Amino acid sequence: MLSSKLKINILIAVFISTNLMASDSYTMKQIYEKMCIECHSDNGSGNTDKLTPSMRGETLEDIIVSLKEVEDDNGHVIMNHNREKILEKGMDYSAEAMSEYMFKRFHK
């Protein structure tokens, strides 16, 4: 049987490790480079083999609308699946923040 002090220490350790994992944050650059670049390319030109459209000619507003549709689960089957995988890895992002990062990256 565990002592009360040991139980408390275990609970504290679990609480701290859980909160540290939950509070991991990634920059938009890190998320893009780990999860998005393979299909959307380094410069946003897309990948025709993966049916990924170019984002280079898109306005900031266009990118926001596209990512909001994915965020809201509005019919982007492949991207909805990819977003689930991104979120499972703790890489949460808002459509607005990622759009702003992508727009700046593609329009240097």
Question: What token pair was written down for 50?
Answer: 């993966």
Query: pLDDT class for 25, splitting at 50, 70, 90?
Result: confident
Q: Sketch the domain layout of the chain as residue ranges.
A: 27-106
pLDDT in tens, 33-63: 999 999 999 999 998 888 888 888 899 999 9
Q: Does domain 27-106 have CATH number 3.20.20.70?
A: no
Mean pLDDT of 67-82: 84
Identity of the amino acid at 6: L
**Could you tell me which residues come within 8 angstroms of residue 30 by beta carbon, excluding any fewer than 6 positions away?**
91
pLDDT value of position 104 = 94
Query: pLDDT class for 24, splitting at 50, 70, 90?
Result: low
Q: What is the distance between the alpha carbons of residues 91 and 93, in angstroms, rounded to a whole number?
A: 6
pLDDT value of position 99 = 94
